[in-house]
């Protein structure tokens, strides 16, 4: 399997003399399998040069599979300049997570409205198909492709591509689920010592991969002031990849304010940290034009997902109960969920919530931890003790970011644990992930 980086920058294209080495184009990675299947991970501005290179090969027909992690600008802006889409006889299959506002086709058509671009999406001569994905295992080209939700203020998936006896995992635009990576008292460096279930799932998804391409937009010093923006610092990526037994780690989605000298410097620090982890993990910062050939190995075990396939939730209608005793916060969350077309009811205390759940079972409860009469943890414990609500998904909101609180939340049976401050798009993406995962349990 051959992997080539065409775009490594995050957020916005950053050309210039001091970004020449690591690159100024936004996210785009070309993956070619041994039998010639072409998978393109993200379609940032790097996709323009990739398209030109594919055309220059003079093939009779180009069949491209574009796998979008999500549809923020820096991941789709290269698509209107991807020349193979402008040639009849070529085919382009576009994949992306469902649950952004509207289907993938509509979201991509939006950036090609005449206000923004002179050619309408429907006018492109290549055969273009759209595939909205949820979590699960898919076949794309000849490859086995697993998807899993990431933590980002938009519906975002990571991709694990398995083909030719090799696994590469693309985890771009993702931030840690929790401030602390390890459980207190547990041996660091092991997947089962990871504190937050989300981070543990993230580690399992990349386990034993030959190559992981991971978001590392920030330094550990920068991250605290950029929390909830949806990106990682290199220390998180290095530690989690080492725990997961990953062989090689390419750090990417470079911050626009980081020039080549700065990235070279943090690359040294990331390598030192990897050495300290002691697992033999090879770390580097991805640069434009970087090409890797991954040799097959017989020891590769196919990834086994927690659930084999999650059915689409796009057509389903959900009822969500929001419980918070602070009126401003309650209104903010209710409005955001109503904007996403959910039916939302609200309660201002734990007791009221339990009564409402008895009367009418919601699909999900968004529950504040700290409330005056009965706190969120007591509500969860009550729900888990009753057979009818044992598996009712509960997303807990809390300002308590300390390790014991997070651990207590998961031990009590919380489905997901979101710490304040959070952003509204981050919360709605986490709500969507909870609903997508819950569907199979309830059905
Ligand atoms: Zn991005
Ligand atoms: Zn993004």
Tens digits of per-residue pLDDT, 199-216? 999 999 999 999 999 999
At residue 441, the pLDDT reads 44
At residue 305, the pLDDT reads 81
At residue 210, the pLDDT reads 98
At residue 105, the pLDDT reads 92
Q: Which residues pair with 125 in a beta bridge?
A: none
Tell me the ligand closest to 72's alpha carbon. 2
Instruction: Indicate if the pLDDT at residue 442 is higher than 70.
Output: no
Q: Is 284 exposed, middle or buried (0-12, 13-18, 19+ CB in 10 A)?
A: middle
Instruction: Indicate if the pLDDT at residue 295 is higher than 70.
Output: yes
Q: What is the mean pLDDT of residues 78-105?
A: 93
Question: From ligand 1's centre to the CA of 99, what distance in Å?
Answer: 17
Question: From ligand 2's centre to the CA of 348, what distance in Å?
Answer: 33
Kindly report which listed range (57-61, 96-100, 300-304, 408-412) carries the lowest average pLDDT score: 96-100
Question: From ligand 1's centre to the CA of 235, what distance in Å?
Answer: 19
Neighbouring residues of the ion ligand 1, judged by CB less than 5 Å: 10, 74, 173
Question: From ligand 1's centre to the CA of 292, what distance in Å?
Answer: 22
Question: From ligand 1's centre to the CA of 13, what distance in Å?
Answer: 11
pLDDT band at 309 (very low <50, low <70, confident <90, very high): low
pLDDT band at 55 (very low <50, low <70, confident <90, very high): very high
Q: 10 Å Cβ neighbour count for 109?
A: 15
Residues 4 and 23: their CA atoms lie apart, in Å, by 13
At residue 307, the pLDDT reads 66
> What is the tens place of the pLDDT at every residue in 324-370?
999 999 999 999 999 999 999 999 999 999 999 999 999 999 999 99
Question: From ligand 2's centre to the CA of 76, what distance in Å?
Answer: 10
Question: From ligand 1's centre to the CA of 173, what distance in Å?
Answer: 5
Q: What is the mean pLDDT of residues 64-73?
A: 97
At residue 71, the pLDDT reads 95
Task: Name the packing angle between helices 260-277 and 234-243 (round to 10°).
Answer: 30
Question: From ligand 2's centre to the CA of 70, what distance in Å?
Answer: 7
Question: From ligand 2's centre to the CA of 229, what distance in Å?
Answer: 8
Q: What is the mean pLDDT of residues 291-307?
A: 90
pLDDT band at 30 (very low <50, low <70, confident <90, very high): very high
Task: Quickly tell me which residue has 């697992």 as its tokens.
Answer: 279
Residues 395 and 155: their CA atoms lie apart, in Å, by 16
At residue 194, the pLDDT reads 97
Instruction: Indicate if the pLDDT at residue 443 is higher than 50.
Output: no
Residues 54 and 222: their CA atoms lie apart, in Å, by 38
Question: From ligand 2's centre to the CA of 75, what distance in Å?
Answer: 7
Answering whether pTM is above 0.75, one says yes
Tell me the ligand closest to 426's alpha carbon. 2
Question: From ligand 1's centre to the CA of 96, what distance in Å?
Answer: 14
Question: From ligand 1's centre to the CA of 229, what distance in Å?
Answer: 10
Question: From ligand 1's centre to the CA of 232, what distance in Å?
Answer: 11
8 Å CB contact between 368 and 397:
yes
At residue 356, the pLDDT reads 98
Tell me the ligand closest to 97's alpha carbon. 2
At residue 402, the pLDDT reads 85
Residues 426 and 57: their CA atoms lie apart, in Å, by 41
Question: From ligand 2's centre to the CA of 409, what distance in Å?
Answer: 28
Tell me the ligand closest to 215's alpha carbon. 1
Torsion over CA: 281, 69, 436, 311 (sign): negative
Question: From ligand 2's centre to the CA of 383, what distance in Å?
Answer: 35
Q: 10 Å Cβ neighbour count for 55?
A: 16
8 Å CB contact between 38 and 59:
no
Question: From ligand 2's centre to the CA of 353, what distance in Å?
Answer: 34
Q: What percent of the chain has pLDDT over 70?
A: 98
């Amino acid at each position: 399997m051959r992997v080539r980086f065409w775009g490594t920058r995050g957020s916005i294209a950053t050309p210039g003399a001091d970004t020449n080495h690591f690159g100024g184009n936004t996210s785009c990675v070309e993956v070619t399998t041994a039998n010639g299947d072409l998978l393109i991970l993200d379609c940032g501005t790097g996709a323009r040069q990739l398209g030109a290179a594919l055309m220059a090969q003079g093939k009779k027909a180009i069949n491209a599979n574009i796998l979008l992690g999500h549809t923020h600008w820096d991941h789709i802006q290269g698509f209107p300049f991807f020349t193979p889409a402008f040639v009849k006889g070529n085919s382009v299959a576009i994949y992306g997570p469902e649950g952004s506002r509207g289907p993938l086709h509509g979201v991509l058509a939006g950036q090609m409205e005449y206000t923004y671009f002179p050619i309408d999406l429907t006018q492109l001569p290549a055969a273009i198909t759209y595939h909205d994905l949820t979590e699960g295992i898919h076949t794309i080209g000849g490859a086995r492709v697993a998807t899993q939700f990431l933590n980002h203020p938009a519906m975002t998936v990571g991709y694990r591509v398995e083909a030719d006896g090799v696994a590469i995992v693309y985890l771009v635009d993702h931030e840690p689920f929790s401030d602390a990576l390890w459980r207190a008292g547990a041996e660091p460096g092991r997947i089962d010592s990871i504190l937050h279930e989300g981070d543990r799932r993230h580690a399992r998804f990349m386990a034993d991969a030959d190559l992981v391409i991971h978001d590392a937009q920030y330094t550990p010093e920068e991250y605290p002031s950029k929390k909830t923006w949806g990106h990682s610092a290199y220390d998180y990526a290095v530690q989690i990849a080492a725990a997961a037994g990953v062989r090689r780690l390419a750090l990417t989605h470079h911050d626009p304010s980081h020039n080549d000298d700065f990235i070279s410097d943090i690359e040294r620090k990331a390598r030192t940290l990897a050495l300290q982890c002691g697992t033999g993990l090879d770390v580097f910062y991805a640069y434009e034009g970087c090409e890797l050939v991954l040799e097959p190995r017989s020891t590769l075990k196919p990834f086994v997902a927690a659930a084999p396939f999650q059915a689409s939730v796009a057509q389903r209608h959900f009822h969500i109960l929001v419980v918070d005793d602070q009126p401003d916060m309650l209104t903010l969350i209710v409005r955001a969920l109503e904007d996403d077309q959910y039916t939302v009811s609200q309660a201002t205390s734990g007791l009221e919530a339990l009564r409402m759940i008895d009367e009418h079972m919601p699909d999900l409860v968004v529950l504040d931890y700290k409330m005056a009469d009965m706190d969120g943890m007591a509500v969860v414990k009550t729900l888990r003790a009753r057979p009818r609500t044992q598996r009712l998904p509960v997303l807990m909101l809390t300002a308590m970011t300390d390790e014991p609180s997070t651990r207590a939340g998961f031990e009590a049976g919380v489905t997901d644990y979101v710490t304040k401050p959070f952003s509204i798009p981050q919360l709605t993406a986490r709500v969507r992930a909870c609903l997508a995962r819950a569907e199979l349990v309830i059905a």
